[in-house]
Amino acid sequence: MSELVPQHLAIIMDGNGRWAKKQNKPRSYGHYMGTENVRNIAIAANHAGVKYLTLYAFSTENWIRPKEEINYLMGIPAIFFDSFLKELMANNIKISTIGQLEAFPENTRKVFEEAIKDTSGNTGMILNFAMNYGGRKEIVLAMQKIVEDKVPADQITEELMSKYLMTSKMPDVDYLIRTSGEYRISNFLLWQIAYAEMYFTDVLWPDFDEKQLLLALDEYKKRHRRFGGLDHEN
């Protein structure tokens, strides 16, 4: 059986647009409600005992979306932290990011920088936002840095590679959840999910509430994580 709670939980938050369409609302409304749900799930995961929660917030592929939608998404972090930073602080949650944030507008970057600074003294769950993130790009960047550091080929190991990744200060992912009925990884944490358990649900992200999270965590408890080995009874 798996440990009771995954130490590192990763979520592909999918379905905001479809949720909005079902409500006869614009896509921006779906993103807004999805943002509110980040607060709900972050606090619920923290209470459940999760130590690291990585959320796929904006991928390197998301730039192909309509400019109007991208502009709205760039303002989402300010909305989120203006609304919920005090609650995150009260729950001892610490903010971090992975991805190439330098591609974002200055105001968006500053919002994250300030949130990271404000929560730097917190010692609870790490709420890690993957922003302008792509798994393949992360691996390429890591390899480029290894080459720049002139590491001999015979010294390049899996352990060394992990130290060059954006998640170097975090353990590998234990459990990956994707909402909205899609069964894809979508270039998310390709290295880190090597032995992760996975959970796919038809529930759209804005509807993925604490009850849904607890159902997913209950399922995790039933999983047998063998890491390439055998069950004890075998």
88: exposed, middle or buried (C-beta count within 10 Å: 0-12, 13-18, 19+)? Answer: buried
82 counts as catalytic: no
Is a pLDDT exceeding 90 seen at residue 185?
Answer: yes
For the domain 8-134+172-222, what is the CATH code? 3.40.1180.10
Q: In this structure, how many other beta carbons lie within 10 angstroms of the beta carbon of residue 58?
A: 24
Whole-prediction pTM value?
0.94
Q: Which of 14, 128, 132, 172 does the annotation list as catalytic?
A: 14
Is a pLDDT exceeding 70 seen at residue 29?
Answer: yes
62 counts as catalytic: yes
Domain limits of the chain? 8-134+172-222
Q: Which of 40, 62, 122, 187 does the annotation list as catalytic?
A: 62
Tens-digit pLDDT profile for residues 64-94:
999 999 999 999 999 999 999 999 999 999 9
